[in-house]
Amino acid sequence: MFSSRIPANIAPNRLAEALRAVHAEGRPFIDLTASNPTRAGFSYPPDLLVPLADARALRYEPSALGRADAREAVAADYARQGVSVPPARIVLTASSSDAYSMLFKLLANAGDEVLVPRPSYPLFDHLTRLDLVVTRPYDLDIHGAWSIDFTSVERAITPRTRAVLVVSPNNPTGSFVRQAELDHLAALCAPRDIAIVADEVFADYELEAGAAAGAGRAASRRDVLSFALGGLSKSAGLPQVKLGWIAAGGPDGLVDAALERLELVCDTYPTVSTPVQVAAAGLLQRGAAIRQQIAARIAANYRWLRSAVAGAPSCGALRSEGGWYAVLQVPSLASEEDLVLELLTVDGVLIHPGYFFDFPRESFLVVSLLPPEASFAAGVERVLRRFAFIGSRP
């Protein structure tokens, strides 16, 4: 009766089941997976959302790609990051998931392929499948720092490849796609009519000095059809407001053709409310106060993590250049699944296993850097304590 866009098995995994039981029993635990900024102890001014009540939104004047003033505000926000994008190349969306869906409709027929980084964001499986697109992985390699394994990209490309997805900085590896890497990808994609889709939702969050400046930005490309994704969800810590955007880059003729077609998609699925479009400029401006709090929190937690792990001989914290996550490497005493179940049920700490993100091997754990400093430190200490006996000298 139901389509196979939705996986046949949608039963919760063992970790989700264990978490349900912990909740049901009312047992306290520290959540090192927390990624909802509105519940992480930041101070949101109570009147932050006042721009949403602007009376200009009482009139409905549909505009498929978005209101001109909102698109100008997004272009100004790119300028703040040092990226020059004309407002005409901005398309408003409700979220980055919405943006992916529009781009898949624009670029891919049923069964066409997009390349996705590995490790990366688990939502890609659903996002692609729901739009009848097939994923083919390419690898990110770690040699001190993460970088794109271009041999795996070339191996993954087929005549059905329509786009290469990059996430910069990536969730969870924290690696920015460097300018030289984006140049290399562009040289592979442009002659094959493959577009680049760059999820830059975490672009504002740098953890290692200089990493953001060295990153390539998709909207600045002139040589290959490219789409950069951003949104208030991360840049202003406002996931509930539902405002995201696409910034197009590439040769003028191709970008114009893409925007004409996106206009048809957006006209058919108008997802962005008028109040949020009217409020966009004000929210982008006011959101800076939240962004600064988030940036300070993740930087403090990242620094603390690196120093705590330096004192734990058997564990490592990989270098994270940006974003809201960090990766711990721990001894493989048990499977990642057993380890995270024990950490939850015995130690009272919830943490994501690397296999959720398709790490090539065990044992990696992914921590969110968003929790308040004290609970972050307590949670990480609980994880490290589990391995404290290894490598310690008598």
Binding site for ligand PLP (CB under 6 A): 35, 95-97, 121, 167, 171, 199, 201, 231, 233, 239, 244
The two beta strands, 134-143 and 145-148, are antiparallel
Identity of the residue numbered 192? R
Q: What secondary structure does DSSP assign to 172-186, as a single string? A: TT-PPPBHHHHHHHH
Indicate the residue among 121 and 376 with the shorter CB distance to ligand PLP.
Answer: 121
Indicate the residue among 129 and 160 with the shorter CB distance to ligand PLP.
Answer: 129
Given a contact cutoff of 8 angstroms between Cβ atoms, the answer to whether 282 and 47 are in contact is no
Residues linked to residue 226 through DSSP beta bridges, in sequence order:
196, 249
Helix/strand/coil for 338: helix
Shortest reach from residue 88's CB to ligand PLP, in Å: 22
Separation between Cα atoms, residue 147 and residue 140, nearest integer Å: 5
Indicate the residue among 199 and 336 with the shorter CB distance to ligand PLP.
Answer: 199
Indicate the residue among 226 and 233 with the shorter CB distance to ligand PLP.
Answer: 233
Positive or negative torsion for Cα 179, 183, 184, 188: positive
Those residues whose C-beta lies under 8 Å from the C-beta of residue 51, and which sit 6 or more positions away, are 278, 279, 281, 282, 283, 286
Separation between Cα atoms, residue 315 and residue 192, nearest integer Å: 43
Shortest reach from residue 220's CB to ligand PLP, in Å: 20
> How far are the Cα atoms of 56, 74, 150, 235 from residue 53, in angstroms, in the given order?
9, 20, 49, 21
Shortest reach from residue 96's CB to ligand PLP, in Å: 4
Shortest reach from residue 102's CB to ligand PLP, in Å: 12
> How far are the Cα atoms of 76, 121, 215, 262 from residue 81, in angstroms, in the given order?
9, 24, 11, 25
Indicate the residue among 171 and 363 with the shorter CB distance to ligand PLP.
Answer: 171
**Peptide bond preceding 332: is omega within 30 degrees of 0, i.e. cis?**
no
Shortest reach from residue 21's CB to ligand PLP, in Å: 25
Shortest reach from residue 25's CB to ligand PLP, in Å: 28
Indicate the residue among 165 and 384 with the shorter CB distance to ligand PLP.
Answer: 165
Residue with tokens 């024990």: 342
Q: 3: number of CA atoms within 13 Å, CB side?
A: 6
Shortest reach from residue 211's CB to ligand PLP, in Å: 16
Indicate the residue among 201 and 262 with the shorter CB distance to ligand PLP.
Answer: 201
Shortest reach from residue 167's CB to ligand PLP, in Å: 5
Residue with tokens 């190349």: 89
Indicate the residue among 242 and 306 with the shorter CB distance to ligand PLP.
Answer: 242
Indicate the residue among 99 and 185 with the shorter CB distance to ligand PLP.
Answer: 99
Tell me phi and psi for residue 303, to 5 degrees: -60, -45
Q: Spell out a b/e string for 160-186, using b for 16 or more CB atoms within 10 Å of the CB, else e.
A: ebbbbbbbbbbbbbbbbbbeebbebbb
Shortest reach from residue 323's CB to ligand PLP, in Å: 8
